[in-house]
């Protein structure tokens, strides 16, 4: 069982959370995006082997979305944070 | 190489089975091959076998970072079926099924294909409609499919809880009688032996760490046992597809997840078909050793760990017990995980690429074991001819960009719903 620290509620069991998406993915501007860029956003994934930034949802708790810095090889969670802080600065 | 037969068995019995020859050689890698296949799972080995058998190409190496079949081939729940409804999938999986039917004989190796049938349980009206439609699609394509009423389901599977008071009451089911299970290890070993017989080099403990591309053309691979030059390089690495393609700068329509499976302690035969439920999302069969084999959903977070977490095991066990209350008295013996190449429409990719001589086989999601012989057959054709076979033309990588998706479940671009 993974224990995940929700930045709002604290440490809870994995079953209260769900993985949503790559936290570094950015929806392109729909007014100016070309087809190739749009395709990349919808279909392509990094599938990183190692540490990555992810968006998770505390669906059975506070209902908030937040960010996780997690290793896909070991499942180790290095950090979690609220969406509002600069956790992802310098990424991508 | 010794042909396996009653005579070779008798001959070897005389020397207490001490003198059987090795099933395949383990040569040192040469510095150059015509084709290097990355990944010694069922798909890579089948591809090598059919390259030699169907296309006469024998200057081939299969390089495997661990041991043969140590990936998903050796970790899956071995369900073999051809009950797909979408154009592209239907005939491809049926080709694979036809190859399974003659595989033990063709390979002279018993892959223990058991045509015990696969029964998909329907739990509500919408599922009944969808399953009957799928059954009709199958029958139009000359694939066996039978609709079973609730009574027929109960007769076929006496231990199944068919009362109306379960969490997901059973309403009927779609049976494919020719479907069933096969022995995973034997599939890898049988294809390896068959390929080796043609002189193909099977090289274990050899990890590909880089792929050499020059001016848009593949030149070879870097491995932990030195560089190997090749005119063509073909991946067959299932859950590692995204990672391997990254080596040539390709970002894939794939997400890598972990899928677990588990077995109970062995008991006497009590389940002579494969039972699956889409509502509970479990699939259940009994192995030849007597263990009940259970599988369910992904863990639902990206992972390369080859092991999962307890909540999914609990969830699968709950669903099994709700369908088969008697199995609640068994103990689980082992659980394990494999890493899954989840594609964005739930269907596989068997494709050429924009790099000359570089080929991709992946995106197998929950279901690539059944595809093993068919995948090898069409991938060998694709590699030999630099162009797809008619059965994998729809599995091209560019379908995601063109919009010609093969989305059985109609869920759209997500790794989590197929
Ligand atoms: C728990 C579970 C249950 C499943 N149940 C079913 C089922 O019931 N029916 C069904 O049809 N399918 C099922 N599947 C899916 C099926 O197992 C796979 O789709 C199929 O076995 C893939 O075969 P493969 O040969 O492509 O991959 P694998 O058998 O995974 O082989 C790929 C090989 O590539 C090697 N490799 C990776 N990277 C490198 C590298 N850099 N260099 C060299 N070698 C490398 C790996 O070590 C591995 O041996 C299941 C999968 C899992 C995990
Ligand atoms: Zn919370």
- Beta-carbon contacts of residue B11 (< 8 Å; ≥ 6 apart): none
- What does each of the 418 residues of chain B score in pLDDT, given as a tens digit? 689 999 999 999 999 999 999 999 999 999 999 999 999 999 999 999 999 999 999 999 999 999 999 999 999 999 999 999 999 999 999 999 999 999 999 999 999 999 999 999 999 999 999 999 999 999 999 999 999 999 999 999 999 999 999 889 999 999 999 999 999 999 999 999 999 999 999 999 999 999 999 999 999 999 999 999 999 999 999 999 999 999 999 999 999 999 999 999 999 999 999 999 988 889 999 999 999 999 999 999 999 999 999 999 999 999 999 999 999 999 999 999 999 999 999 999 999 999 999 999 999 999 999 999 999 999 999 999 999 999 999 999 999 999 999 999 888 899 877 6
Q: What is the mean pLDDT of chain B?
A: 97
Q: Is B364 in the pocket of ligand 1 (CB under 6 A)?
A: yes
Interface pTM, i.e. ipTM? 0.93
| Structural domains of chain B in order of their starting residue, each with its CATH number | 114-178+256-340 (3.30.9.10)
CA distance B154 to B156: 5
B273 to B118, B156, B159, B161, B176: CA distances (angstroms): 6, 8, 12, 15, 10
| Chain B residues close to A45, C-beta within 8 Å | 242, 251-255, 344, 415
Using an 8 Å Cβ cutoff, are B178 and B370 in contact? no
**pLDDT digit string (tens) for B117-142?**
999 999 999 999 999 999 999 999 99
- pLDDT given at position B416: 78
Residue of A45, A70, A74 for testing the chain B interface, max B β-carbons within 10 Å = A45
CB-based burial label for B227 (10 Å; 0-12, 13-18, 19+): middle
Q: Reply yes or no on whether the pLDDT at A92 is more than 60.
A: no
What dotted CATH number matches A3-82? 3.30.2270.10
| Chain B residues close to A18, C-beta within 8 Å | 300
- For strand B228-235 and strand B32-38, is the pairing parallel, antiparallel, or unpaired? parallel
SS3 B76: coil
CA distance B53 to B48: 9
Q: Check A72 against B310: CB less than 8 A apart.
A: no
Q: Check B309 against A2: CB less than 8 A apart.
A: yes
Q: Reply yes or no on whether the pLDDT at A54 is more than 90.
A: yes
- pLDDT given at position B2: 82
Q: Check B305 against A73: CB less than 8 A apart.
A: yes
Q: Identify the H or E element spanning B96.
A: helix B89-107
| Chain B residues close to A13, C-beta within 8 Å | 311
**pLDDT digit string (tens) for B263-293?**
999 999 999 999 999 888 899 999 999 999 9
Beta bridge partners of B359: B234
CA distance A88 to B288: 51
Q: How many CB atoms lie within 10 A of CB B418?
A: 21
**pLDDT digit string (tens) for B328-358?**
999 999 999 999 999 999 999 999 999 999 9
- pLDDT given at position A86: 63
Section A31-47 average pLDDT: 94
Q: Which residues of B278-308 are buried (b: 16+ CB within 10 A; e: fewer)?
A: bbbebbbbbbeeebbbbbbbbbbbbbbbbeb
Give CA angle at B280 (B86, A56), nearest 5°.
Answer: 85
């Amino acid at each position: 069982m993974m224990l995940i620290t929700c930045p709002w509620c604290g440490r809870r069991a994995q079953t209260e959370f769900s993985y949503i998406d790559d936290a570094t993915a950015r929806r392109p501007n729909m007014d100016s995006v070309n087809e190739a860029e749009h395709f990349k956003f919808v279909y392509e994934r990094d599938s990183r082997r190692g540490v990555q930034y992810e968006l998770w949802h505390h669906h059975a708790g506070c209902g908030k979305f937040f960010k996780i810095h997690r290793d896909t090889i070991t499942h180790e969670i290095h950090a979690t944070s609220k969406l509002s802080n600069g956790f992802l600065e310098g990424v991508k | 190489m010794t042909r396996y037969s009653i005579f070779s068995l008798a001959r070897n019995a005389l020397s207490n089975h001490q003198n059987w020859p090795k099933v395949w050689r383990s040569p040192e890698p040469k510095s150059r091959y015509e084709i290097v296949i990355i990944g010694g799972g069922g798909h890579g080995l089948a591809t090598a076998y059919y390259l030699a058998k169907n296309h006469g190409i024998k200057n081939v190496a299969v390089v495997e970072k661990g041991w043969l079949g140590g990936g998903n081939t050796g970790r899956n729940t071995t369900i073999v079926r051809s009950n797909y409804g979408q154009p592209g999938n239907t005939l491809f999986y049926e080709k694979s099924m036809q190859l399974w039917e003659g595989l033990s004989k063709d390979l002279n190796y018993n892959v223990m294909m058991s045509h015990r049938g696969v029964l998909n349980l329907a739990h509500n009206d919408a599922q009944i409609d969808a399953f009957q439609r799928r059954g009709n699609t199958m029958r139009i394509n000359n694939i066996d499919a039978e609709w079973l009423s609730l009574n027929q389901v109960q007769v076929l599977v006496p231990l199944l809880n068919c009362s109306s008071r379960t969490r997901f009451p059973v309403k009927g089911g779609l049976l494919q009688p020719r479907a069933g299970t096969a022995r995973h290890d034997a599939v890898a070993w049988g294809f390896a032996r068959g390929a080796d017989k043609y002189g193909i080099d099977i090289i274990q403990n050899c990890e590909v760490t880089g792929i050499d591309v020059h001016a848009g053309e593949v030149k070879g691979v870097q491995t932990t046992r030195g560089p190997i030059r090749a005119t063509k390089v073909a991946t067959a690495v299932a859950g590692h597809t995204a990672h391997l393609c990254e080596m040539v700068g390709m970002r894939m329509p794939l997400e890598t997840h972990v899928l677990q499976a588990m077995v109970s302690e062995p008991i006497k035969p009590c389940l002579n078909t494969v039972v699956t439920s889409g509502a509970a999302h479990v699939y259940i069969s009994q192995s030849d050793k007597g263990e009940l084999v259970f599988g369910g959903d992904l863990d639902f977070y990206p992972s390369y760990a080859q092991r999962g977490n307890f909540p999914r095991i609990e969830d699968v066990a709950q669903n099994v017990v709700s369908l088969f209350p008697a199995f609640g008295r068994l103990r689980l013996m082992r659980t394990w995980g494999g890493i899954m190449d989840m594609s964005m429409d739930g269907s596989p990719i068997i494709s050429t690429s924009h790099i000359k001589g570089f080929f991709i086989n992946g995106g197998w999601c929950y279901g690539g074991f059944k595809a093993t012989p068919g995948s090898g057959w069409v991938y060998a054709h694709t590699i030999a001819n630099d162009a797809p076979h008619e059965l994998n033309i729809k599995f091209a990588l560019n379908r995601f960009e063109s919009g010609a998706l093969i989305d059985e479940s109609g869920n759209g671009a997500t790794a989590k719903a197929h």
